[in-house]
Chains A and B, each alone.
Chain A
């Protein structure tokens, strides 16, 4: 295997509470090459905070610690906040769940995409404009010239998410972290957004971390899947071996979702074991 692009070893995220410190992510380790890695877990499993720690975007008073957190050999934990702003966007980018909350509501989307380009590249407005329109067509927006002049509230959910992707990809990052990028979208639109991510990952040789609660979607899309439970990575498997998954939590999760053509009289309910969280 080639050198890993991202190395995470023994990652912990801690929040102080009035009852003492609570570890929300508890010793997660993984490495990421040029691949699509899925992180799956239920609400509160620590999957989003794992993604945010890599971006160094865990909100205070949360604390991040790790034995190693490195991007292309560069230690992210020793990076200053100022330097981090240059790495964010340029080297690692993040797409969040709902474009309604992540786009600036009072700025034309074209200008927002330009801004993300001009922050990282030395370009004048004309060049940036050309790049923005190019980026919009790369995410398969039919009439990029027209969409350039729209405000976020004039976009549909799927289009908004595509604009977000266009914006994140402008500085050509090496790693893209997508946190539930499609859960606010309809199934058919979801498929379109995934296909765009898929193409971009292939064409540009990017690495992708896809964070989601949807085990089925993630395993159909990614190369590897890491399953998280109560702040720990309980199992990592190749996506095509999903039916061979061993951890009882993952097995329970697969069994509890109704499938098309399901004739089970009752859905098996996940029986949680206190040992899983240990």
Chain B
């Protein structure tokens, strides 16, 4: 049997020391299979983005073990390990260099990885994410929010990674633009069979995009299950139920239990 693509074994991340120590992630154990779309949901501060950052190798010290594609992946990664895994962040305004053209933004990862055929790869990546050749020599501020997020996705897939990490990829976008970006991500996943890990606070988006979902709160995974189960409200932990109820719209009857917990 092939090993899982991403394996987290008793992952713990804490910030600060002594009495000011804050445990952002506690005892997270998780297997994500190759080609699987996995979702992490929870409220701000639940640790979902920290888990993602740890997988990406962006967190310097943690306890437990991370294995990617069967090999241990510490905080120090080799170039090949980095190429295996790319990330798309929430804010397309903040994650692109404002003074680099789209062409430069897309060629930079290729130069770092010393790949050839930069010209061809950049053209391909632009076409793949539905941008036109004329966008290539523009600056980020000359593009709309949706187009910028497409550039961020192009930058991630240009290295042909096997894992794509998505941190709230559509929450800064309008609903109509969100649909375009979600469709794009689903198409790319179908064509390239990425393993994806997606973080979002929007249950409907996660359920739509992922096969399996974990609910996080206060640094721990409370529950893991299939998206279908999540969508029909089949999660049993009280907190997951609360999250599900709150996502179904404004409803006064729910408030009683929320106040008690506040």
Q: Quick check: which of A49-57, A83-91, A121-129, A249-257 contacts chain B, the rest being far away?
A: A249-257
CB neighbours (8 Å) of B65 from chain A are none
CB neighbours (8 Å) of A42 from chain B are 174-176
Q: A187-B243, A217-B249 are in contact. Are A262 and B207 (CB under 8 A)?
A: yes
User: Which residues 83-102 of A sit at the B interface, judged by CB distance below 8 A?
Assistant: none
Contact B179 A256 (CB under 8 A): yes
Q: How many residues of A contact B (CB 8 A)?
A: 36
CB neighbours (8 Å) of A140 from chain B are 259, 262
Complex A-B: 29 CB contacts under 8 Å: A187-B247, A188-B43, A188-B242, A188-B243, A189-B43, A190-B246, A191-B250, A191-B255, A192-B259, A192-B262, A195-B255, A198-B252, A252-B176, A256-B175, A256-B179, A258-B182, A258-B205, A258-B207, A259-B204, A260-B230, A260-B248, A261-B207, A262-B231, A266-B186, A267-B183, A267-B208, A269-B179, A269-B180, A270-B176
Separation of A187 and B175 alpha carbons in the complex (Å): 17
Tell me if A213 is interfacial: C-beta within 8 Å of chain B.
yes
CB neighbours (8 Å) of B182 from chain A are 258, 267
Nearest A residue (CB) for B170: A258
Separation of A214 and B246 alpha carbons in the complex (Å): 14
CB of A273 to closest CB in B, whole Å: 13
CB neighbours (8 Å) of A266 from chain B are 183, 186
CB neighbours (8 Å) of A194 from chain B are 250
Nearest A residue (CB) for B230: A260
Separation of A140 and B230 alpha carbons in the complex (Å): 31
Contact B232 A261 (CB under 8 A): yes
Q: A217-B250, A267-B182 are in contact. Are A257 and B43 (CB under 8 A)?
A: no
Tell me if A150 is interfacial: C-beta within 8 Å of chain B.
no
User: Which residues 90-147 of B sit at the A interface, judged by CB distance below 8 A?
Assistant: 145
Separation of A96 and B176 alpha carbons in the complex (Å): 23
Nearest B residue (CB) for A196: B255
CB neighbours (8 Å) of B179 from chain A are 256-258, 267-270
CB of B203 to closest CB in A, whole Å: 6
Q: Name the contact of A188 in the complex, choosing from B174, B176, B252, B258 (C-beta under 8 A).
A: B258
CB of A41 to closest CB in B, whole Å: 9
Separation of A189 and B243 alpha carbons in the complex (Å): 10
Separation of A189 and B183 alpha carbons in the complex (Å): 29
Tell me if A130 is interfacial: C-beta within 8 Å of chain B.
no
Which residues of A line the B interface, CB within 8 A?
Answer: 42-43, 140, 142, 157, 186-192, 194-195, 198, 213-217, 220-221, 252-253, 256-262, 266-270
Category for how many chain B residues contact A: 35 or more
Tell me if B82 is interfacial: C-beta within 8 Å of chain A.
no
Separation of A198 and B208 alpha carbons in the complex (Å): 31
Tell me if B50 is interfacial: C-beta within 8 Å of chain A.
no
Tell me if B201 is interfacial: C-beta within 8 Å of chain A.
yes
Contact A258 B204 (CB under 8 A): yes
Q: Name the contact of B204 in the complex, choosing from A189, A213, A262 (C-beta under 8 A).
A: A262
Contact B207 A187 (CB under 8 A): no
CB neighbours (8 Å) of B262 from chain A are 140, 142, 192
Tell me if B254 is interfacial: C-beta within 8 Å of chain A.
yes
CB neighbours (8 Å) of B248 from chain A are 260
Contact B174 A213 (CB under 8 A): yes
CB of B202 to closest CB in A, whole Å: 8
Separation of A189 and B44 alpha carbons in the complex (Å): 11
CB neighbours (8 Å) of B180 from chain A are 269
CB neighbours (8 Å) of A259 from chain B are 204
CB of B255 to closest CB in A, whole Å: 5
Contact A195 B43 (CB under 8 A): no
Contact B208 A262 (CB under 8 A): yes
User: Which residues 232-253 of B sit at the A interface, judged by CB distance below 8 A?
Assistant: 232-233, 242-244, 246-252
8 additional A-B pairs beyond A188-B246, A261-B207, beta carbons within 8 Å, are A187-B243, A215-B175, A216-B249, A253-B175, A256-B179, A259-B204, A261-B232, A267-B208
CB neighbours (8 Å) of B44 from chain A are 157, 186
Separation of A186 and B262 alpha carbons in the complex (Å): 13
Nearest B residue (CB) for A158: B262
Q: A262-B208, A269-B180 are in contact. Are A191 and B254 (CB under 8 A)?
A: yes
